[in-house]
Structure formats: structure tokens, C-alpha cells
Amino acid sequence: MDEKMFTPGGMERMQALSDRDNVPYPRGDGMVKLVNTGWLADHLNDSNLTILDVQPDVHDYIQEHIPGAVYLTEGVLRVSNRGFPTTYSPNSCIQEAFRRAGVEADSPVVVYTSKGAFSGRGDGLAQTMMAYTLAKYGHNKVYLLDGGLDAWKSEGLELSQDYPTVEPSNFTVEVRDEYAIGYEEFVRIKDNEGVVVLDARPAKFYEGQGPWRVAGHIPGAINLPWRSLMTDENPMQFRSNAELDIILEEHGVDRNQTVICTCGTGREATNEFVLLKWLYLYPNVRIYEGSFTEWVSRPGSPVVEGPESRERRAETAPAR
């Protein structure tokens, strides 16, 4: 690709092109890395490896899973708090869930999901939701299976209906608060020069549909649907680096900026947070966990309907 296609810093993303074939990807000390099915097949019997199956329904896991995988539903990660529906579970609950799954903070954990063979459900986001949560609460070696169980099955690799014997671990939660950004700080910096806010929801929600009591999006947010970053055939498989470079460039997302990932409830945003922070190694990435659900619950928070251009992102919409 011609260098003139890229904004300042954009060419640095190209360093990842060759590393994609050298798993775990990328090299370095990132908490979350990408692995492919070949890597997992080669390491399936590693004594220190934990494999977490986060398929959408336990019956999907019962019907088929990767040998040795432990089932851990993403449903344990968030609960209602004082009525707000999407807050993270208490530290003690998350700690106990990880302990029962045998997760050790410094031993590698592979996370995968699927479009459930039994339930027919699953959008693919459970992988990045679990990977983000593991890293946020203190895990140091999270491996994301590119393509998930669907890629594993497409290659005719072994499946199992056996349940592994798991000894509870001594995992201790250590929250990395620097990943998330709260409402007050978000409001304070979101319109600053050098800050870009991404909305990972589908375009129809961004423009004004969806279940929220107020339609639209946060003023200034740029719509980058998370699904556009994944292959057409598999919502658990990232597009090639060359394709991702072009998409990020078209949306004005540059590594020299502070990037804040948002969506509807903070779940879709984990896909873009994982990609930018850990796979592309952007230095300043945050996630607004409350996202649009919290935004519209706050009195006076402005909302914009319709497709908003990059040029309009600094404008302030009228308050409700």
C-alpha cells in the first residue's frame, strides 16, 4: 500500500502484517493475543493451558466443545446494580467464577465461542467480552481463538463431549482500572482535540433505532460497527490486517489519538478495545463501559440522530 494513504502513525500498523502468521500474535507483552486453530491444536495438551468455552448456551457446550475446555458463561460477568442493568459483578463473584474454572493469572487461557450448534444463537462477541474481563480483573496471558469454534470445526479438528476434571485455582482479582473510563471523565474529555469516540453498534442503532428510550448516538461519536471488522463468513474471525488498516483509515482512527470505545452496553465495544489495544498496540485506548445505556440514563445528556459526519463530531447537540 502507498504510504500517502495513511495519516501520521498509520504506517506503524503495517508492522503487524507479518506477525499475524507468527502466533501468538502480536509479539510483545500485551495481555491479550490472537492464536489460530493450528496453534491451539499444537498446544492442546499443555499442562498449564486452560481453555474456556463461552458458547451462548450450556447445551451448545454439552453437544460439542474443544477437548479439555471448561464452560464459563459470560452471564456471570455482569449483574444489575441499584437497578442499572449492565454493571460488572462484584469482584468476589468474578474471582470465584475464575477460580472454579481453574484460571491462573499467569498461565495461558484460550477463550472461544461459536454460533451454538444446539441453540443456534451467538453473535461472536462472547470471546472479546470474556477476554477483556479476564485482563481487566488481573489475568496476564489471555489468548483469543481467531475464528472461534466455527474455525476449529471447519478444519475437521477433534470435538468432545467429555467434561474435564478441574481443580479450583487461587486466582485473585486485581482490577486494572485504567482500561475503563467513567461517565464524568468521558464527558470531560470526549470532545478534546486528539480524542476519537467510536460507537461499535450497527448503523441502524447509531442513527436512531434500537431499544433505548432515546434514539441516536452520543454527539461526536463515529460509527464503526464491530461486525465490519470481522470476516463476512465468521463473526469470530478478524479480517486481514490489510483490510483492517483500510477500515481504520477510512474512519480516521489513528494510533496517535486517544481512542474511546463505546456501544450500547459496553459489550460490543470490547471487540474494538481488544483489537486496538492489544492486537494493534495502540498506546491510548479506553472503554466506556456504561456506553449508550448509561449515557441516556443521565439527565441532560445530548443525543444525535442520523448519520453524523466526521466534520460534525465537535458540534454539540441540544440537551434533552
**What are 81-131's pLDDT values in tens digits?**
999 999 999 999 999 999 999 999 999 999 999 999 999 999 999 999 999
The DSSP 8-state label assigned to residue 258 in this structure reads: E
Give the mean model confidence (pLDDT) for residues 57-71: 98
Cβ 128 vs Cβ 274: under 8 Å = yes
Cα–Cα nearest to 109, from 59, 54, 56, 163: 54
Helix, strand, coil percent content, the chain, rounded in steps of 5: 35, 15, 50
Reduced to 3 states (helix: H, G, I; strand: E, B; else coil), residue 178 is helix
- What does CATH list as the number for 180-312? 3.40.250.10
For the chain, percent of residues with pLDDT exceeding 90: 86
Query: Does pLDDT of 319 surpass 60?
Result: no
Of the residues 101, 103, 263, 276, only one is catalytic, namely 263
CA 169 vs CA 57, 104, 136, 143: distances in Å: 24, 6, 18, 18
Measured in whole angstroms, the distance separating CA 306 from the mean position of its chain's CA atoms is 25
Reduced to 3 states (helix: H, G, I; strand: E, B; else coil), residue 227 is helix
With b meaning 16 or more CB within 10 Å and e meaning fewer, what string describes 101-121? Answer: bbbbbebbbbbbbbbbbeeee
Tell me what the pLDDT averaged over the chain comes to.
91
The set of residues, in sequence order, having a beta carbon less than 8 Å from that of 111 and lying 6+ positions away, is 52, 54, 127, 130, 131, 134, 142, 143, 144, 145
Torsion of CA 95, 101, 102, 108, to 10 degrees: -90
Element (H, E) at 59: helix 58-63
Give the mean model confidence (pLDDT) for residues 27-45: 93
> According to the model, what pLDDT value does residue 8 have?
47
Residue at grid coordinates 470474556 = 130
Cβ 160 vs Cβ 67: under 8 Å = yes
Report whether the peptide linkage leading into residue 24 is cis, meaning its omega lies within 30 degrees of zero. Answer: yes
Query: Does pLDDT of 296 surpass 50?
Result: yes
Query: Domain 31-154, CATH 2.40.110.10 — does that match?
Result: no
Ramachandran area for residue 74 (φ above 0: left; ψ -120 to 50: alpha; else beta): alpha
**Residue 261 designated active-site:** no
Domain ranges of the chain: 31-154, 180-312
Torsion angles phi and psi, residue 253, rounded to 5: -95, 110
Give the mean model confidence (pLDDT) for residues 299-303: 94
Paired with 225 in beta bridges are: none
pLDDT in tens, 177-232: 999 999 999 999 999 999 999 999 999 999 999 999 999 999 999 999 999 999 99
pLDDT in tens, 264-291: 999 999 999 999 999 999 999 999 999 9
Measured in whole angstroms, the distance separating CA 285 from the mean position of its chain's CA atoms is 12
- Expressed in angstroms, the distance from the first to the final Cα of the chain is 45
> According to the model, what pLDDT value does residue 272 have?
98
pLDDT in tens, 128-154: 999 999 999 999 999 999 999 999 999
pLDDT in tens, 1-16: 444 444 444 555 555 5
DSSP H stretches of helix in 80-141 = 91-100, 126-136
For the chain, percent of residues with pLDDT exceeding 70: 90
Same CATH topology for 31-154 and 180-312: the answer is yes
Statement: the pTM of the whole predicted model exceeds 0.95: no
Cβ 271 vs Cβ 239: under 8 Å = no
